[in-house]
Structures are given as C-alpha cells and as structure tokens.
Amino acid sequence: MAGEAQTASEYIKHHLQNLTYGKFPEGYDNAGSWGFAHTAQEAKDMGFMAVHVDTMLFSIMLGVVFLFFFHKAAKYATEGVPGGLQNFVEWVIEFIDSNVRDSFTGKNPLVAPMALTLFIWILLMNLMDLVPVDWLPQLAGIVGSGVFGVDPHHVYFKIVPTTDPNATFGMALAIFALTMFYSVKIKGIGGFMAELTMQPFEAKSLPVKIFLIPINFFLEFVGLISKPISLSLRLFGNLYAGEMIFILIALLYGSGLTLFVFAGVLQWAWAVFHVLIITLQAFIFMTLAVVYMEMAHHHH
C-alpha cells in the first residue's frame, strides 16, 4: 500500500523512477564520482551514460531463467512420456515455428531462435507486471535503509523492464540492426539503396527518375526509421499504462474499508485482463520482428 509519509503524487512518481547508477555532474558535492541517484533530479542530471540497475538486473535475471529451463528441458528430453516442462517447451517451440513459417519465406537459421528468444524473454519481463507493485520496492527500501542507511523513500526499484523505454528501444534497435545487415547482405548496397530511392514513385524518363529520388528517399527513410520507434514504443506504452493502473489501484487500499475491498476486486479483474495484454504484446513484438526480417530477405 502507499506509504503514509507520501502524498499520492509522490507515491506515483516514486514507483515510476528507476534505480539509477551514474556519474554525478558539476554542481553536486560529490561531482565526478559514481553512485546511485537518491532523487529523480539526480537521476536526470546523470545524463545518457547512467545505468538503470533495476532494468538490467531483472532483464538479465529473466533471461537466465529462460535459458535455464529451456536448457533443462532439452537436456532431459525423452522420447517416452514427456514431463510437464518438456510438454510446455515443445508446445512453445511448435507455436513459434508455426508462426515463423507463416511469416518468413526466406532461408535463415537465425530467425526462428530469434523469434523464440524475443517471445519468451519479453513475456517473462511483462509478467513481472503482475507482481504487486509494493512488494519488491518495499523490500528494496528495507534493504537500502537497513544496510546502506538510505531513506526508503529515496530507494527506487522498478521491477518491470518493459516499462523502461531503454529496454524496449534496445531490443528494437537490435532488430533494426539485424534487418539492415541482412538487407545489405541479401540485396547488396546498390539493391538496398534502389529500394530506398526508386519507390514508391516510379517513372520511365531519366530526368523524372532523378527528380523523384530525394522524394522517394525521404518517404522510404521515414518508413524505415519508424519501424524500430513504433516497435519499441508500442511495447513500452502498453506496459507502462498497465503498470500505472496497478499503481493507481494500490492507492485505493489506504482510502478506507470500502475502497480497500473495491481495490482488491479491481486489482484481480485488471490482472486477469492484463494477462492477455502481456501475452499479446510479446507476440506482436516477435511477429513484427519476423516480418521485418522477411522484408530484409526479399526484393520489392
């Protein structure tokens, strides 16, 4: 529940701030040294090179969980009656393989493993949104105050990596880099540049073709750049909105018995509905990544 020493606005801002580690800039007593930000302003002033420790921690941890269980299922796979884990892993792999075959017609052994990794990893990160918003942040506050002597209200801890645009943009830019690499590899520099400059407007006359090149390039370049931006913002926006609703529901718990009961029912209902959003967003991100790879492997 919301801390009694915090206003509703402070409570919301606290839950939306990442645990940030970076270099303190000029103007601070400890300028030039590295450390954790104790306020949102400090985190902002640390600039681009600051690291969101909580995002890194949970994304890496969930990636390790994914690798551990899938490796375990592969290691102990049997041709006889499979166990529950093997059944689940086989079902997931068949589901991903079917979707990749429907969306990708080229030949690239990287695409299916990429799709599997994206779907499971993003799904696990999204599932952290179902953990009650106060449990882990309060635990982090207790540890921070007990071990490091820090005011609990200055200990920030976001547990849903996909509510951090740094994580979603990082994944989207990785997909963008792959599509650029295979676009040039499959089509050559000339073929790739022709796709950017010879469409959507075409002409038979050479002077008109030359005139249309900058127009075509502008339109195609905008479409090209919009892919990673829309890919990342779609995932971030949906999960951020879902987390915000959970935070607003948590505020109701401290507003009397009637609202306490109402908040419990509302939280359960939103969690059930949010499971669909969580799964759908992971699937959409994976599918679009496969579609972009398909576009990179074929000429227009």
- How does pLDDT run across 106-153, given as a tens digit for each residue? 899 999 999 999 999 999 999 999 999 988 988 888 887 766 666 777
Task: Give the catalytic positions in this structure.
Answer: 230, 234, 238
Indicate the pTM of the whole model: 0.92
Rounded distance between C-alpha atoms, residue 158 and residue 42, angstroms: 17
**Could you write out the three-class secondary structure of 28-78?**
CCCCCCEEECCCHHHHHHCCCCCEEHHHHHHHHHHHHHHHHHHHHHHHCCC
Instruction: Give the residue among 270, 268, 235, 244 at the shortest CA–CA distance from 121.
Output: 235
**pLDDT for 169 beyond 90:** yes
What's the whole-number average pLDDT of the chain?
A: 91
More reliable by pLDDT, 173 or 5: 173
Indicate the pLDDT class of residue 2, thresholds 50, 70 and 90: very low
pLDDT digits (tens, 9 = 90+) for 46-71: 999 999 999 999 999 999 999 999 99
pLDDT of residue 5: 59
**pLDDT for 1 beyond 50:** no
More reliable by pLDDT, 114 or 209: 114
pLDDT digits (tens, 9 = 90+) for 243-264: 999 999 999 988 888 989 999 9
Q: Average pLDDT for residues 256-276, to the nearest whole number?
A: 92
**pLDDT for 4 beyond 70:** no
With beta carbons less than 8 A apart as the criterion, state whether 157 and 54 touch.
yes
Beta bridge partners of residue 23, listed in sequence order: 34
pLDDT of residue 254: 81
End-to-end CA, the chain: 55
